[in-house]
Structures are given as C-alpha cells and as structure tokens.
Amino acid sequence: MIARRQQVAVAVAGLLTAAAACQAQHHDSKASGRPAPPAARGFTLVAAGDILPHSAVVDRARFDAGGTGYDFRPMLAAVQPLVSRADLALCHVESVYGDSATGTAALTSPPEAAQGLAATGYDSCSTASDHSLDQGAVGIQRTLDALDRAGVRHAGTARTDAEAHTVTLLRAGPAKVAHLAYTADTNGVPLPPAEPWAVNLLDPARVLADARAARRAGADVVVVSVRWGTPGQNAPDPQQLALARELTAARTDGRPDIDLVLGNQAHTPQAYEKVNGTWVVYGLGDQITGEMYDNAGTQDPGGNLSTLGRFTFVPPARPGGRWEVTKAEFVPQLFDIDAGRVVDINQAIGQGADLTGDRDRVREVVLSRGAAKDGLVMGK
C-alpha cells in the first residue's frame, strides 16, 4: 500500500507539472475569442461527478493556499486539460457553501471551491442534492452567489421564484444546451413553506415538462442531472432503471425530450447505458471526496473512484431533428486522499503508477450493462 501511494505521488507530481504547462500554453477556445467553428463540427461535452470536500480535503485546500483562504485549483490540475478543452463542461456541487469565516463548518464547503471549478474549466454545475437545505435558504444563497462570482452557471436550486423558472441555457460550440437538475430527496428536510421552489425535486412529470419548456426556449440539446440511487452501490437500483426508461422514452413530435442523463449520489462509479437511444450515466462517482466507507463501516477505496463522461454531439441531418451522440467515452479517475489530488488514472499509469487494478475496476462497472456494444469506449 505504501509503495502504491509513492507511485501515485510520483505520478501526481508529473501530472501537475504537465497540467501547469498546459495552463500556461493552452488558450482554451471557450475564452480565446476566436470565431466559432462551423456548425457541422458539433461539440464535445464532459461531465464529472460530486464535488464533496470532506474536512481533510478542505484542510488540504487551505494548505495549498498557503494557510490563508482556500485554493482548490491544484487539487483539480490533473484534469484541467480534459475539462477545459471541451466545448461544455458540467459538474455537481453536493454540499452548500459557507462564507470565508465558516467555510469549514459542518455540512458546508468554502466558497473558494467555485473559483477552483471555474479555473479548471467547468461551465455549469448542478446544485440540487440531498444536502441543498442543510443550511436552509441562506446556504443556497451563498452557494449560488459564489458560483455567480466565479462565472460558473448552475441549475437545480434557486434564490427566487423567477430564477427557479428560468432555463439554464449554455453555449456549446454552435449549439444551445439546456442544463436541468433534480434531487430525489433532501435528507428529510422539508422545502421552506415560503420558498417551495428552492430545490428541484425529482418528479418525472416535472422533469419532462421542464425539458419541453427548455426546447421552447431554444435548446438544441437537453441535459438532465439527477441525484438518485443507492449510496455505495455500483449497480443502479430498480428506481433508477425505471426512471431512466421513463425519461428517455418521452418524445415530442417524434424527437426525444431529453438527450443525456447524468446521475450522481452513489458516491462510486455506476454503469453507463444507452436507453431508448439516449445515453444514461447512472453514477459518475465523486470527483472530490474524502475517505469513503461501505455500509458495513469498512473503508472502501472504491468510493474514491469516479469517471469523467465525454460525449461528442453532431448536428441533426434535417432541421428540427435530434443532435446525435457520435462518440461516447468514459475517463477513469481517482481522488488520492493522501495527496489531496484528482488523478487521471490513464495518465498516471503512463507516468508509472500501478493503478491498473483501479482502471479495470472502473471499466468493469461502467460497462456492466452492455454499453460497449453501443460504442462506449474508455477515453484518454
């Protein structure tokens, strides 16, 4: 175990050096000001799972900031090239943000995390989770304010009724993409009576109504982030499977209402599957997290594994048709709790780390429902 950690540490150091060079030399097309490429080329979308900094992770971010404030950029540096090169990058913020003085309080994350997400290249994050109401309406306010200041869009929670009914529309190359987000529960915390719109609860009829509204608002592609499933379980549960079938079966004038489903909550990777012609990721896993434990209370290294999903969309063959996914990929990742760094497993293996077992474990889970036959491949 010690030898493995040393190998990972060496690999992380190499990846951070490469990422720093990339950040210095690579001018991301999202911010370069270059003309948009021809519409025929389509766009790429990447999606990562939970950003859930445990107390030890927050301590690492404070150390990386030199003891003043918090800096999450080094933590994400190894995946910055993958994220920033995509036309659109999505993530999931599970815990609400505190303020600069209470950023390490229970059930909150420092607001500086939003700056780290922005620097990594994330464009929008889902914020509907079982922890959305942990700090009440003020927690939602702080979280969305921090994301706004960092220039990161968001979906799933709201500060006002008007915001709750506004579609999050994002530009991805030549396309307009709607990002919708919902959570199956709020850990038993009821919605504020005066603010029933504060968190989007997962109801199929609501999701489909919102997806159709997004189309009317001009969305070419509708992406739905859902917080569902059984924590600690690699296999999607019956409720996930049933809801995936229901959401992907819905059509308006022959066109699917939803183009991609991105799941979170299991805190471990789950399968990717093409359902009714639409890609569903049952669980991306946690991109940033702390020590994870299984239902028996035993530390589970699998809880530190995750995937980055990458999907290439191309324009429809005819006006009013569907933007099709022509390439679907997953990139296996690991959160190294000792180094406090996200590790791109394939790149780390290339740097000499013995992570083949982790890579194979992720691949087995992701392909467990037959996605390979529909063209899903492991990306780099």
pLDDT digits (tens, 9 = 90+) for 192-248: 999 999 999 999 999 999 999 999 999 999 999 999 999 989 999 999 999 999 999
Q: How confident is the prediction for the chain on average, in pLDDT?
A: 89
Mean pLDDT of 335-339: 93
Pairing label, strands 175-183, 278-281: unpaired
Q: How far apart are the first and last CA of the chain?
A: 26
Burial category of 162 from C-beta neighbours within 10 Å (exposed 0-12, middle 13-18, buried 19 and up): exposed
**Mean pLDDT, rounded, for 3-23:** 45
The per-residue pLDDT for range 103-156, each reduced to its tens digit, is 444 568 999 999 999 999 999 999 999 999 999 999 999 999 999 999 999 999
Q: Convert the pLDDT of each residue in 148-199 to its tens digit.
A: 999 999 999 999 999 999 999 999 999 999 999 999 999 999 999 999 999 9
Structure tokens at 276: 């009714």
Residue 68 CA to residue 263 CA, distance in Å, equals: 35
Q: Which residue do the tokens 């509708």 mark?
A: 222
Q: What is the mean pLDDT of residues 284-302?
A: 76
Residue 21: band (very low, low, confident or very high) from pLDDT cuts 50, 70, 90: very low
The answer for residues whose C-beta is within 8 angstroms of residue 259's C-beta and 6 or more apart is: 221, 222, 223, 278, 313, 322, 323, 325
Ordered domains of the chain (ranges, CATH): 2-378 (3.60.21.10)
Q: Is residue 33's pLDDT more than 50? A: no
Report CA dihedral (218, 177, 142, 128) to the nearest 10 degrees: 100
What pLDDT is attached to residue 32? 46
What pLDDT was estimated at residue 100? Answer: 58
pLDDT of residue 62: 96
Average of pLDDT values for 358-367?
A: 97
Q: Which residue has the higher pLDDT, 49 or 40?
A: 49
Of 240-249, 273-282, 317-326, which range is least confident? 317-326
Characterize the bridge pairing of strands 124-126 and 88-93.
Answer: parallel
Which of these, 112, 100, 130, lies nearest to 53 by C-alpha position? 112
